[in-house]
Structure 1
Amino acid sequence: MSDDLSVSGGGMHRVTTAEIGGYSAQLRQLSEEVASCRMLLDRVDRVVTGEDIVMANLPYSAALAEGAIDEARFFLEALVIDGQMLAGLLDTAASGYGLAEAMTQSMLRELAGRQAYGLGALMSSVPAIGGLFLLGAGVSVAGFAALAAIDQGSLVARWLEMNREVLNDPRTVELVRLGVMSVDDFGGGLLGLPSELVAFLGSDQIAVTGLAGTATVLTAGARAVGLLREGPVAATRMSKSRIDATAPSAVPAGFADRAARIPPSPQQIRIDRYEVTGEPDRFEVYIAGTKDFSPVTGEDPWDLTSNLGLVSGSELAGSTRALVQAMADAGVTAETPVMLTGHSQGAMLAMAVAGSGDYDVRGVLTLGGPTGQMDSPDVPVLKVEHAGDLVIAAGGLEKSTTAVIVTRDLFANTTVPLGTLLPSHDLSRYQQTAALIDGSGEAHVTAVGKSFDSFTRGAVSVETSTWQARRISEDATATR
C-alpha cells in the first residue's frame, strides 16, 4: 500500500504532500536553530573585540579566531536566509497547486452541472426515454442500497468483486462526487426550470436544493412506500470503567490512538470522561460507522435511514437522537468541553453535533466520512480520506477551506485486495493511515495534533463508557 499523504485546507487553497510539508517544517526549524547559534557567536564576539586584541598585545591566534568568528556569523546568517527562503518556496508551490486544484474542481463542477441539466431537459422532452431512465435509476439505487444483503456467492457479488479495482479507483470517486453534486441540476432540467434559477437555488449562499435537498426529496419518496421510516430510539450504557490518567494508554496520544478508540460492533458510541482538577470535566466521544445499509428501517439506527437524514441536515435522524441521549446520560452539557472522533456515519454525526452550536466542541477528527457538504465548525478539524473511498464521494465536493484534509491513495502501488468490496473504507486501514499522519511532521497537521493532545492535559482520572443504540417500537415506548 502507498504511504504517501497529501494535505490540503487549513484556511487556504493549499495542497501539498506530507513529505514536502515535513521538509518545509524541518527547514524552518533548522533556520531557528542556526539563528540561535549565530546569537551565541554574537555574544562571544562582544566579549573580546579586535581593539582589545591590539591593546592587550594578544597572540596572533586570537586575531585569527576573531576573523573566524566573523566568517562563521556571515555563513550562519546566509543559512538562515536560505532556509527560510526555501521553506517559503515550498509553501508557495503548495499554494499554487492548491489554487490550480480549486479552479479545476470549480470548472468540472460547472461543466458537470450543465451536462446534467441538459440531460434532464432531454429526458423531459422525450417522456418514453425519461421514464426508462428514471426506472433504471430507481432499480440501480435499490440495488446499491441492498448490497449488504447480497449473497457473497451471487452473480452480482461476483461481478462487483471482479470490478473492485473500479469501485476503489480515485477517478471513480471523483466522478461520483460530481454526479452527486449534479443531481439537482438534472432535476431542474427535468422540470423545465431556467438554468439560472437552478444554479441560484443550489448555490452555497441559498442552498435550497443541492445535496441536502436531494436527500430530503429521496427520503420523502421512500417513506411514501414504507422505506427509510424513522421511529423512537434508545441508547443503553453497556460498560463503564475508571482508571488513573497516568496509567499507560489512559489518554490518547495522537490521531492513531483516537482512531483506535472507535468502538467495535455492536456498540456504536464510546465516551471518555476526564476529571481535571479545578476545571469542568471534559469528554471525548468516539462514534462508529454505518452498521446496516438496507433501505428497510431496522433495529439498528446506524443505518441507511440515518445516513440520509444526516445528509439532509435533519436533527431527527435516529443515530443523532441516540448520540445526543448517550452524551447527556454520560454528563456532557452545553458547558463541558468535548472532542469528537468518528468513522463513516460517525464522522457525519461528529460534524453534525459540532455544527449544531449546542456544545462546547474543541475539535473534530473524521475518518472516511461523506461530510463534504456539511458545515465545518470554527474549531480544529482534521479529515482523513482515502482517495479511492467511494463512501466519501456520497458527501459531494468538499466546501470547507478551514478543515485540514489528509488524503492517502491507498492502493496506488498495488492491486485492490480481495475479501471486501470497498477496502478503501475499512476502519482498520484508516487507523493505519492515522498512524502515518502522526509521523508526517506537516505544519498544519502538527498544529491540529497539538491542539488535540492539549485537550487531556491535567487529567487525573478517566471514566470510559460504551453505548449501544436501538430503535424501539411504539408499543414498547407506550409501556415505559
Structure 2
Amino acid sequence: MNGDDAPGALVLSGGGTTMVSTDALLAQAARLALLRADARDWQARLERIRALEALPAPAWSAEDPGLAVFAARQTIDAVEARSGELAESLVVAAEAYGQADRTAAMLARMTGAWLGHSLGRLAPLVFAAAIPAATAGAVAWLLGGLLRRDAPGTARSRGPGTARSPGPDVAGLWIGDPRLLANPAVVALVRVLVSSVDDVAAGAVGVPFPVSAALGDEGAGLFGVTTTAAGTLAVARSIGMLRETPVTVTRVGKPRPARPPGGFADLAARIPRVSTGGPQVRIERYGGAADAAWLVYIGGTAEWSPVSAGEPWDMTSNITAVAEQGAGSYRAVVQAMHEAGIRPTDAVIPVGHSQGGLVAAQLAAAGEFNTVAVATFGAPVAKVPVPPGLPVIAVEHSEDLVPALGGAARDAAARLTVSRELYADAAVPASPLPAHGLVTYRETARMIDASPAPALADFRTLLAATVGTAPGVASRWRGTRSGSSGAQ
C-alpha cells in the first residue's frame, strides 16, 4: 500500500483476515469502531433519560430539558452513523487492496510457473535435474560471499588483526550499486523464481502444465519449494555436500535472571547474534512448576559453506529445513528444549531470526510442544504450514532477499505478516544484505511496539499473559555437529 503512506510505514496483511493495510490505517479504523460503540452507549443513556420526560414533544417550551436531550440525541446519532461509515470504508478499502495484492501475487506465481514449465519442456532432462542444485549452489555462493565481505556494522565484520575470511568477491555482481540485491522488485522476482523451480523439472519430464499447476505451489501444494529442496539435497549429497550429521548441545555458562519481555523489541533483542563458537539458542523460563511458560530464542545462519563441519546453523541446515527433513539446527533446538526441562504441556513461544525463524515456525508445525504463539524476523517461513488459529507474526523487510528464498505463501492469510520498506526514500547502506541484519529488524520491532494496530496489541497482550510479571531464568545453549561429515 503506497500512496500517502509514510516512508518505512508498517504494512500488515493476513492474520486471519483478507486485509492488507498500514498499521496506522487499521488503528484508525479501530478508533472509529470504539467511537461508534461509545456513541451507541450514549444513545441508550439518552433514550432512558427521554423515557423520564413527562410532557410529550409538542408541549415542550424553549427552556424544557427534553428539547436539549432531543438535540443531543440527534448529534449522537450523527456521530454513530458517520463513525460507522468511515470505519467500514477503511476496512473495505483494506480488503479491496488485499484482494488486489493476492490476485497480483497469484498471477505472478502462475506466470512464473508457466515460464518455468516451458523452459523445462525446452531443456534436456539432465539439465533440468541439475537446476535445483545449481540454484541452491548459486544462492549459497552468493549469500556466503556477501556475508563474508567486510562491511561496517555487520555481524561478520573483521576485528583488529583478523585475517580476511575466504570466499568469493561478489562485488562485481553489485555493479557498484547495492540496490541490486536490496530492491523490492528483485526480492519479489526471486520469490517467484524459487517457487517455479519445480515447474521446470515437471516440464522436463513431460508433466502437462495443468497437472503441474494443480499439484504444485499454485494448487494443492504437493510439490514446490520443499520438493525442490529435497531434490537439491539428493544431488548435493551425491557429491559430498549438504550432508546432515548427528548434533549435540551443551549449556553455555550459568543460568541468569531474566525479566519478562515487554514486546517485540525485547523479543528481537534477545535473539542470539551470529557468532562463531557462540550460543545459538536462549531459553527463558517463567512461572512455577505447575504453570511454567517458556520463550525460546533462535539465532540465524552462522556458516555458509555447503560442506558440513562443526556448526549446525549452516547452509546444510538451511536446505534441509526447507526440505523438512530434520535439520541439524532444528534437532539441536529440540534437544536444548528437552534438557532445559520443557514439558509437552508447558506453554512455549519460539522466536527466531533468519534460519532461526524457520526453525521456530517448524517447532509450531511439528506439534511436539505446546506452542501458543510464534514470532519470526526475516525468515523464509512462507511454506511452513501454520496450525489453525495459532497467532504467528512474521516480520519481513521488503528489500530482504532471505524471506523470498522460502517461496510464495499459499496460506498467507493464516499468519500476520508485518512488512516494512527500509530504503524507499533513503540510500541503501554499502553493506551486504543490509535489510536482513538483526540490527535492522530490532529497529522495526521497536516500531511494532509503538503501533496501535489491534492485531499487534493482541499479540503483546498474549505475550504478557503467557509469561506473567515475575522474573524468570535464562539459559544459553550451543549446538555442535558430531560424527562423520559424510553422514546422511
Q: TM-score range by the shorter chain?
A: 0.7 to 0.9
CA–CA distance in 2 between the matches of 1:343 and 1:134?
25
Name the structure 2 match of 1:2: 7
Report the secondary structure of 1:226's partner residue: coil
Q: Which runs of 5+ in 2 are unaligned?
A: 1-5, 151-163
Q: What's the CA shift for 1:124?
A: 2.3
Matched, 1:212 2:221: no
Alignment-derived partner of residue 345 in structure 1 = 355
The normalised TM-score by structure 2 is 0.86
What amino acid is aligned across from residue 230 of structure 2 in structure 1? T
Distance 2:137 2:341 in 1: 45
Q: Is residue 190 of structure 1 aligned with residue 190 of structure 2?
A: no
Could you list the per-position Cα deviations for residues 321-367 of structure 1 after superposition, in whole angstroms to 9, with x for gaps in the alignment? 10000000111121111111111111100110100011111000111
188-197 vs 139-148, greater mean Cα deviation = 139-148
Aligned partner of 1:251 in structure 2 is 260
Q: 1 CA distance for matches of 2:448 and 2:423?
A: 17
| Structure 1 segment 274-293 matched on structure 2, within 5 A | 274-276=286-288, 279-293=290-304
Look up the match of 1:76. Answer: 76
Matched, 1:106 2:115: no
**Which residue of structure 1 aligns with residue 244 of structure 2?**
230
TM-score, structure 1 length as denominator?
A: 0.88
Contact 2:174 2:180 (C-alpha < 8 Å) held by counterparts:
no
2:36 aligned residue (27, 31, 39): 31
Corresponding residue of 1:246: none
Shift of 1:298: 2.1
Aligned to 2:195: 181
1:148–1:454 CA distance, 2 compared to 1 (3 A):
same
1:462 equivalenced with 2:457 (yes/no): no
Residues 124 and 191 in structure 1, CA contact (< 8 A), matched pair in contact too: no
Equivalent of residue 315 in structure 2, options 301, 304, 307: 304
Alignment of 1:309-458 (within 5 A): 309-315=320-326, 317-378=327-388, 379-400=390-411, 401-418=413-430, 420-457=431-468
Change (3 A) 1:89 1:224: same
Query: Counterpart of 1:253 in structure 2: which amino acid?
Result: G
Report how many residues are paired. 460
Contact 1:6 1:17 in 2 (8 A): yes
Report percent identity of matched pairs: 33
Q: Which amino acid aligns with 1:12?
A: T
Q: Distance in 2 between matches of 1:51 and 1:211?
A: 73
The answer (yes or no) to whether the contact 2:271–2:282 under 8 Å persists in 1 is: yes
| Aligned-residue RMSD, C-alpha | 3.0
Report which stretch shifted further, 439-448 or 400-409. 439-448
Q: Which of these two proteins has the greater Rg computed from alpha carbons?
A: 1
2:407 match: secondary structure:
coil
User: What is the CA–CA distance in structure 2 between the aligned matches of 1:138 and 1:366, rounded to whole Å?
Assistant: 23
CA distance in 2, matches of 1:133, 1:47: 81
Cα distance in 2 for partners of 1:41, 1:299 equals 73
Residue 235 (structure 2) aligns with = 221
Among residues 262, 271, 276, which one is paired with 1:262 in the alignment? 271
When residues 235 and 167 of structure 1 are mapped into structure 2, their CA distance, relative to the original with a 3 A threshold, is same
Q: Is the 8 A contact 1:380 1:451 kept in 2?
A: no
2:145 to 144, 147, 168: 147
Residue number in structure 1 paired with 2:160: none
Counterpart contact for 2:20–2:95, Cα < 8 Å = yes
Amino acid at match of 2:425: N
Give the 3 Å change call, closer, same or farther, for CA 416–331 of structure 1 in structure 2. Answer: same
| TM-aligned CA distance change 1:206 to 1:104, over 3 Å | closer
Residue identity in the other structure for 2:107: M
In structure 1, what is the Cα distance between the partners aligned to 2:142 and 2:423? 23
Could you say what secondary structure the match of 1:405 adopts?
Answer: strand
Aligned to 2:153: none
